[in-house]
Amino acid sequence: MKKTLLMVLVCISFLQAELPATLKGGYPVCTTEEYFEQFISATVNKDIKMIKYLASLGVCVISKKGLKVTVLDTSMFSGKAKIRAWLNNKPIILWTNLENVILKK
């Protein structure tokens, strides 16, 4: 039991470090956690109007495969990841699904 708990704590601390990664693509990325949650909710509820609205604001887009990012934080039990990408040589903080993130080895 103690070994299992230790392993879980080590894994959690490992996931909290800034880690290089790439995106699988095809998943939403949003500029804030709130927009990300709204996008996911709209997707689950098949609210196409809301999805289009968030996209028209430019606050959520569908990610492209292979985008290089840095994982800043994960919400392991919620399935979300806070990432940093670079756009025109400027950092941008985004939120996405954990499934979208491929950690570099």
Q: Is the dihedral of CA 45, 48, 52, 53 positive or negative?
A: negative
State the burial class of residue 33 (Cβ atoms within 10 Å of its Cβ: 0-12, 13-18, 19+). middle
Q: pLDDT (tens digit, 9 = 90+) per residue, 16-58?
A: 578 999 999 999 999 999 999 999 999 999 999 999 999 999 9
Write down the pTM of the prediction.
0.79
* Cα 94-54-18 angle, rounded to 5 deg: 5
Q: pLDDT (tens digit, 9 = 90+) per residue, 67-90?
A: 999 999 997 788 999 999 999 999
The strand pairing partners of 19, in sequence order, are 71
Helix (H, G, I), strand (E, B) or coil at 79: coil
